[in-house]
Amino acid sequence: MSGSLSDNLTLRRAVRDHRSVLQQAMRAHRADDLDTAEQLYREVLDLHAAQPDALHYLGVLCHQRGRSDEAVEFVRTALKITPRHPDAHNNLGNIHKECGRPAEAEACYRRALECAPDHHNALGNLAVVLEVQSRLDEAFEAYGGLLQKAPDEARGHYLMGLFLRNHAQNMEHLEQAAECFGRAFERDGRNLRALEALGVTLYALKRHDEARRVYRDWLEREPDNPVPRHMLAACGGADAPPRAADAYVRELFDGFADSFDEQLLKNLDYRAPQVLVDALGGVLGVPAGALDVLDAGCGTGLCAPLLRPYARRLAGVDLSGGMVEKARVRGGYDALDVAELTGYLQSHRGAWDLVVSADTLVYFGELQEALVAASAALRPGGWLGFTLEAMDEDADRVELTPSGRYRHTRRYVERVLAAAGFGDVRIVADALRREAGQAVAGWVVLARRPGRGATSSEGEAA
């Protein structure tokens, strides 16, 4: 027997109301007003507890806010209601991928493709996690499938270019990568990462004039963009600055934030955080959770789980707000700040027992000011650990490379550390990552501020 007329009207009104609120929530979510969006999604669920779109998008939002376990539960609940929803499977895969669970992510992307074989985002994401798992033949096949299914979409050409460049075994692979980057930019003139990648790859192919032309043309179109200005200098088309401009670093990494971890994982053997913390273990001894630690240039927070066992308090700072938000999602920090590194160190005198900087000072040519600030920010006896890209010359100099990063000689590093007042300097050569199929040589540097404090070179409390 059907309900009364008033009951039916109430039900229709509730359905209409929750749909209206859901649209408001989605608009707020797209506008990045996460507080309003979360409140409205929850209002929808108060009106209709099994509304799958509200559950799905609330899950996505929770992940954005660093509550990834909660996010997984919301999206899984949505999929119990609508099990053949390819976007929900794809987004659940994204959550797993960004939480470092590539096998779980792969399963989600495959389910999305079962529901919608032409789901281009899921296919591209599947290729990425296959590559992360070093299943390169399968990844190459998936990237190729994406190009066949979506030949006019820039993303597939860009991802294939990155794959070919990251795993290049000969110059032909780099030539193919350059072609992919060019096609990606032809299809989407807003894809400036493809344009930058094209310039770097052309330089690696020793097509120097073409690389400089890419950056000059870009700079003519966007004279206020710091990226082509810096990269033109990196290719020898202008004078090299003493350090990368703040605007360049911010623009580069804000644009890179969403794919940063993914790209580093794909650059096989990215090791800077691990080798740096391993080296520090030799001077700090057994982790005791007793130190005030700064992750200087924290990026997306890759160092956090490695540093946490040593830290009573772990803080991170980075110039890129986009990267800091990713670090907030990853978790592990007691405090995170968006700030320029040298100024931040100067404003925190005597605050830290340990300052760690993995692959951040590679954007500094002249290191003196930053190292003086780091010394002042350390307590007596505190340790500084950082990585640099190495120039293997018996000279005292630094150079800007076509990657946009700087390389330093050992003699230069020893001189500026001594001038900044550091002692007990230890510099070890190691490979920090791979690029274009080649190992990138680096320095792993440890140095200690003189005096007795919370740490000692023997790893015991002073």
Q: Which long-range contacts (CB under 8 A, 24 or more apart) does 288-294 make?
A: 290/454, 290/461, 291/353, 291/354, 291/454, 291/455, 292/351, 292/352, 292/353, 292/354, 292/454, 293/352, 293/353, 293/354, 293/355, 293/356, 294/348, 294/351, 294/352, 294/354, 294/355, 294/356, 294/377
Note whether residue 255 is domain-resident.
Answer: no
DSSP collapsed to 3 states, the chain: CCCCHHHHHHHHHHHHHHHHHHHHHHHHHHCCCHHHHHHHHHHHHHHCCCCHHHHHHHHHHHHHCCCHHHHHHHHHHHHHHCCCCHHHHHHHHHHHHHCCCHHHHHHHHHHHHHHCCCCHHHHHHHHHHHHHCCCHHHHHHHHHHHHHHCCCCHHHHHHHHHHHHHCCCCHHHHHHHHHHHHHHHHHCCCCHHHHHHHHHHHHHCCCHHHHHHHHHHHHHHCCCCHHHHHHHHHCCCCCCCCECCHHHHHHHHHHHHHHHHHHHHHCCCCCHHHHHHHHHHHHHCCCCCCEEEEEECCCCCCCHHHHHHHEEEEEEEECCHHHHHHHHHHCCCCEEEECCHHHHHHCCCCCEEEEEECCCHHHECCCHHHHHHHHHHEEEEEEEEEEEEEECCCCCCEEECCCCCEEEEHHHHHHHHHHCCCEEEEEEEEEEEEECCEEEEEEEEEEECCCCCCCCCCCCCC
Cα within 13 Å of Cα(175), Cβ side: 3
The verdict on 214 and 339 lying in the same domain is no
| Residue that terminates a domain, selected from 130, 146, 162 | 146
| Dist. CA 307–CA 311, nearest whole Å | 7
pLDDT, residue 462, reads 31
CATH code, domain carrying 342? 3.40.50.150
> Do 42 and 125 share a domain, yes or no?
yes
- Tell how far CA 128 is from the center of its chain: 15
- Residue 231 tokens, joined: 């990269």
The predicted structure's pLDDT at residue 269: 65
15 falls within a domain = yes
Structural domain includes residue 139: yes
Domain total in the chain: 3
**29 and 91 within one domain:** yes
Do 356 and 212 belong together in one domain? no
Q: Is residue 453 part of a domain?
A: no
Q: pTM for the whole thing?
A: 0.77
In the listed set 84, 118, 146, which residue is the last one of a domain according to the structure? 146
Q: Are residues 102 and 179 in the same domain?
A: no
The residue segments making up the domain with residue 209 are 152-239
Residues 275 and 409 in one domain: yes
Tell me: do 290 and 414 sit in the same domain: yes
Angle between helical axes of 34-47 and 5-30 (0-180°, round to 10) = 160
Q: Which of 123, 146, 169 is the last residue of a domain?
A: 146
Contacts of 136 (CB under 8 A, 6+ apart): 130, 167
| 426 and 279 both lie in a single domain | yes
Residue 251 maps to a domain: no
133 found inside a domain? yes
Do residues 298 and 442 both lie within one domain? yes
232 contacts 255 by C-beta, under 8 angstroms: no
For residues 215 and 450, what is the distance between their CA atoms, to the nearest angstrom?
45
Q: What is the pLDDT along the chain (462 residues), one digit of tens a residue?
A: 445 544 444 444 545 577 889 999 999 999 999 999 999 999 999 988 999 999 999 999 999 888 999 999 999 999 999 999 999 999 999 999 988 899 999 999 999 999 999 999 999 999 999 998 989 999 999 999 999 999 999 999 999 999 999 888 889 999 999 999 999 999 998 888 898 899 989 988 989 999 999 999 999 988 999 989 999 999 888 999 999 999 999 888 887 656 655 655 555 567 889 999 999 999 999 999 999 999 999 998 999 999 999 999 999 999 999 899 889 888 899 999 999 999 999 999 999 999 999 999 999 999 999 999 999 999 999 999 999 999 989 999 999 998 899 999 999 999 999 999 999 999 999 998 877 667 889 999 999 999 876 554 444 333
In a domain, 351, yes or no: yes
User: Domain check: are 76 and 206 in the same one?
Assistant: no
Do 363 and 423 belong together in one domain?
yes
One-letter amino acid identity for 373? A
Query: Would 254 be classed as within a structural domain?
Result: no
Residues 271 and 208 sit within 8 Å (Cβ to Cβ): no
Residue 70's domain is classified under what CATH number? 1.25.40.10
The Cα 332–Cα 100 span in angstroms is 15
324 in the same domain as 296: yes
Q: Distance between CA atoms of 338 and 323, rounded to whole angstroms?
A: 9
